[in-house]
Copies of this chain bind each other. A is one copy, B any other.
Amino acid sequence: MSKLKTYILFFVLMVSSIAYSQSHPKLILTKKGVAEIRAQLNQLPMLQTSVQMAVRFVGDEMEKGIDVPLPKDMAGGYTHNCHKKNYLALQNAGVLFQITQDEKYAVFVRDMLMQYAELYPTLGLHPANRSYAPGKIFWQNLNDANWLVYASQAYDCVYDWLSSKERKKLEKDLFRPFADHLSVDSPQFYNRVHNHSTWGNAAVGMIGLVMNDQELIDRAFYGLKSDNIKADQKDNDGGLIKMPGQGQAGFFAQLDHLFSPDGYYTEGPYYQRYAMYPFVMFAEAIENCKPEVKIFEYRDSLLVKAVQTLLNLTDVNGLFFPINDAQKGMSYLSRELVSSVNIVYHFGGEDAGLLAVAEQQGQVMLDDTGLSVAKAIKEGKKTNYIKRSANYKDGASGTEGALGILRAGEGDKEICLVMKNTSQGMGHGHFDKLSFSLYDYMGEVLPDYGCARYVNIEQKFGGGYLPENNTWAKQTVAHNTLVVNGISHFGGSTDTGNEFHSDPFVFDATNKAIQIVSAKELNAYPGVEMHRTLALLADDRFEKPLLLDIFRATSDIENQYELPYHFVGQLLSANYEYVQAKELVPMGDSHGYQHLRLEAEGQAKGNNAKFTWFAKDHFYSITSYVSPEDKLQLVRSGANDPNFNLRSEPAFIIKKNPQKNAVFVSIVEAHGKYDRVTEFADNAFSSISKIDLLLNTNAYTAISFQDKNKNEWILILANKDAGKESQHELQINGADYKWSGAFYFVQSK
């Protein structure tokens, strides 16, 4: 550095330390933001509510007194919970000091941080010794990183209020060594491309920005220059620490590799929700402190897309689609999504639809972004948040399959389909290639089981993953997709599954009459080609959009093909005879069948099997084109479940006799409802009178279906050529069909 530059730098530092109030807060809260919040708080109810929540929470903690215990317990234990509450209290107290300018909050933050600064230098690794990357405060570095992400916000808020001596002590004894432990001392934690490392990067980067420590900032952005991670080193979940070919680390590497170009996160929305917080918070900090980075524009506005994608991966109630290891019930009301929505509203183009989500969330961040949201809502800028059909490409380059979402119908006629044509989803992935779930305006119709876990419910295995997560929830038969020879996809091997992805074939949501998603899976069962096409058909002749499902399996050898439909509710009626089993026994001893019991079995008299079920006082029917030899099974989960860890839930399975090639064709209808007060049943019967398979060759599959008024529709799929411009010509039953594109759909009568 030249002498002149040094001089200028020195001068600037002098001036800013004289007018010290100009430098902090700057990380999440800003000087400008604080001034505006203070000026407008009175007029903004959502902001007031959020301040009141913080006041109550911090007030309770202050009343109890500061407790910084010697680290000892695992997750859920006393010291764990205590340190977790502490970092939340620190962050909230810091913010309240800025907003209320009541010094008691600054005193609380200072006193607690000082206790940590006393404790930290005395600590070795956490005594639990259970993690691949132990923390010092918590059993795993992941939680230590959480701590620092929050504590750095608190430090930023009281920075100017502290004496320089206090700052010096905190940085020397606490923050710098803390950041070092997360990074240089724990490369197996810090230098991965993984959500754990994202927390690590954000923690190191955020404290680095507060302290203006360029070394830490660089370390956060670009990772450690060297690590000694072995090629086969694994984490507690059995995941590889370093993916083969991983060249980079740090925050930008996470942004480059953890999301697809569409902002889809391969582990699925439940984990994406968890991962978003360090991404959006660190990004906000970077934008505030280093706007020249243009972090929200990075990779074609990746973070904005990621949040929008995540919000679109929810059902009508805002609940995330529970693909992979996901506990059901998690929704966009979660804390992480409050931050995400606020930050993306403020820094990502002020999409007015996001305000509708924010309003449902009922709280905002106490920073510039929350202020923006609260103001915009107050000003009546809110519009509906419109969820849409979309095909989200998976994989960092967008070349590893896709998650297809189709939505049709409005209000109580809404139908939503989720089809999983992605990659495995890593260690938390399920063996569910080409599987789908179906939702209506109330929620699940044909559900995914989710994970077998009761998060934080101690009675159930301490809240951890249950054995049945592997033996049932991940298995193919627990999903709405094809099981071949009673074995799960990839033989149930995650490592094998990780090598492959499904191949999207068609996605077309441009025509409201037929929205279609089609994909193939060539690797789940070596020697078997699976090709599934799902379509939502909207026609006023039906109460709600129909789901059409065409599943083809092709092989050179005979296989046993079984297609389950997991449903919610209770059988009402079937158009075929079935016999209830006298004794209920497990249906197998592996691949999930050990957890199923056969409750009833029947066979269709002709080529159409129909069954109608009843759920939450609504009627649903599935009509399937079958062979009279096909076994139509009603099954229920719960066998070999010694601790009653599984929910008792029914499924309908179409089981074909061994054959080389099979095609399953079904139409699922949501129709009608029952009113328990008027005792009136409206539209209780299926409207589909017939499904026919007209043709099924390597090149084409054609089906027709009729409603009860003899209206008829035909759908022809080109199985090999999905080209949008490709010309096709075909004769079926003496009639000529000619069209361009992957499929042809027409009302024929």
Residues of chain A at the chain B interface (Cβ within 8 Å): 327-331, 333-335, 454-460, 463, 570-573, 579-580, 582-586, 597, 599-600, 612, 614, 617, 634, 636, 638, 640-642, 644, 647-648, 650, 674, 676-681, 684-685
Contacts and interface: CB of A to CB of B under 8 A. Distances in A.
Contacts of A679: 327, 330, 455-456
A328 B677 CA distance: 9
B572 A457 contact: yes
Given A612-B459, A644-B600, A329 B571 contact: no
15 contacts: A328-B676, A330-B676, A334-B677, A454-B572, A454-B614, A456-B679, A456-B680, A459-B572, A580-B640, A580-B642, A583-B585, A634-B644, A636-B648, A648-B648, A648-B650
Contacts of A599: 638
Contact of A647 (B455, B570, B642, B644): B570
Contact of A641 (B454, B463, B580, B640): B580
A571 B644 contact: yes
A324 to B, nearest CB: 17
A333 B650 CA distance: 32
Contacts of A614: 454, 457
Contacts of A329: 617, 676-677
Give me the 10 closest cross-chain CB pairs, A-B, nearest first.
A329-B676, A584-B584, A459-B573, A571-B644, A455-B679, A459-B572, A457-B681, A583-B583, A333-B677, A334-B677
Nearest to A638: B599
Contacts of A580: 640-642, 644
Contacts of A460: 572-573
Contacts of A681: 456-458, 463
Contacts of A579: 642
Contact of A684 (B459, B612, B676, B678): B459
A681 B76 CA distance: 10
Given A330-B679, A580-B642, A583-B584, 6 more contacts: A457-B614, A458-B681, A570-B648, A571-B644, A580-B641, A582-B585
A678 B335 contact: yes
Nearest to A641: B580
Contacts of A647: 570
Contacts of A459: 572-573, 612, 684-685
Contact of A677 (B331, B582, B642): B331
A459 B681 CA distance: 11
A463 B676 CA distance: 13
A50 to B, nearest CB: 16
A331 B677 CA distance: 6
A676 B457 contact: no
Nearest to A329: B676
Contacts of A571: 644
Nearest to A332: B677
A458 B335 contact: no
A674 B584 contact: no
A621 to B, nearest CB: 10
Nearest to A582: B585
A285 B328 CA distance: 55
Contacts of A674: 457
Contacts of A457: 572, 614, 674, 681, 684
A677 B681 CA distance: 35
A463 B684 CA distance: 12
A678 B634 CA distance: 36
A612 B679 CA distance: 35
A460 B459 CA distance: 40
Contact of A678 (B334, B600, B650, B676): B334
Contacts of A334: 677-678
A41 B43 CA distance: 38
A78 to B, nearest CB: 15
Contacts of A333: 677
Contacts of A642: 579-580
Contacts of A640: 580
B458 A684 contact: yes
A590 B580 CA distance: 18
A162 to B, nearest CB: 32
A612 B597 CA distance: 25
Contacts of A680: 456
B584 A597 contact: yes
A461 to B, nearest CB: 10
A87 to B, nearest CB: 15
A452 B580 CA distance: 18
A636 to B, nearest CB: 7
Nearest to A569: B647
A676 to B, nearest CB: 3
Nearest to A647: B570
Contacts of A582: 585-586
A706 B331 CA distance: 39
A128 B747 CA distance: 42
A458 B684 CA distance: 8
Contacts of A583: 583-585
B330 A677 contact: yes
Q: Give the residue among A459, A570, A580 with the most B Cβ atoms within 10 A.
A: A459
Nearest to A648: B648
A705 B579 CA distance: 49
Contacts of A331: 676-677
A676 B327 contact: yes
Q: Give the residue among A579, A640, A684 with the most B Cβ atoms within 10 A.
A: A684
A342 B82 CA distance: 56
A571 B685 CA distance: 35
A575 to B, nearest CB: 11
Q: Give the residue among A458, A638, A676 with the most B Cβ atoms within 10 A.
A: A676
